[in-house]
Amino acid sequence: MPLSITHLGTGSRGNSTLISSDDEHVLIDNGFSGKQLEKRLGRMELKPTDISSILVTHHHGDHGGGIQYAAKKWNIPVRSNYFTAEKLGMLNYENLHIFENLDRIELISKATFLPFPVPHSGSENVGFSIVDDNGEKTCVITDLGSHTDEIIKHMKGCSHISIEANYDLRRLLSGPYPDRLKNRIMGRGGHLSNEQTGILLSEVIDKNTKSIVLTHLSEKNNQPHLAESTVLYHIDDIFTGDIAISLQDGPEFSHFIGQSEKENMSVKV
């Protein structure tokens, strides 16, 4: 069975991504309560005890808020950088494993995980590139207000990319948030707008890119049709694969890495 990626839910109220291969399962982040995690995994016919490890991108509550409870209740190993573990109060957890940027992490038999630095305010955020045993590369990246040359390097050559498209600029500027919050969201350490995501994707995708999932859409400052249409404006001439939207109340679908667009589109949760 090929490597699969399933977003259990993405957005300001919680994020978690399931990476699976046969009977091996890893989570990237858990911003959900124990009850919500059980519910969402249950839709995949899984239990928290089926998870072999949780990788953490950063400590912010919507990504790391459920880590401590899930880890201790179900004795799940946790892997993060030191700063994130400290902020989550996990340094004394016996099943904690600290990684550094660009460490190669082997958690399941058919894939290697590589953390790389991502700019995000008040955190030591990382994205993950994942390479399966066929050489197919996947990238999961979120919570960044801008991109770097290193991010571009890790995103290039991917078969699948999951990336945030957090806000529509016009909606954010005219919306109810105070100016201080608007400026933080738009800043280098904030989040990517639909436009910024489209521009970034236009620099990294090629004929090998089969699927894209847009994640972490703001419920107040974005709409799925705006995110998709804006991104496609920038990549439509070069991208012929499947583009999908992951929302807060997942999981909704899975992508199987290396499969065709037609095969993937039929895999609904």
Per-residue pLDDT reduced to its tens digit, 2-27: 899 999 999 999 999 999 998 999 99
Domain at 4-257, CATH homologous superfamily: Ribonuclease Z/Hydroxyacylglutathione hydrolase-like (3.60.15.10)
Confidence of residue 266 (pLDDT cuts 50, 70, 90): very low
Residue 265's pLDDT is: 44
Q: What does the pLDDT look like over 191-217, one tens digit per residue?
A: 999 999 999 999 999 988 999 999 999
Residue 110's pLDDT is: 83
Q: For the chain, which residues make up each domain, given as ranges?
A: 4-257
Residue 260's pLDDT is: 52
The whole-number average pLDDT for the span 159-184 is 97
Check pLDDT > 90 for residue 241.
yes
Residue 268's pLDDT is: 63
pTM for this model (two decimals): 0.94
Residues 6+ apart with CB under 8 A from 25: 18, 19, 46, 50, 51, 52, 108
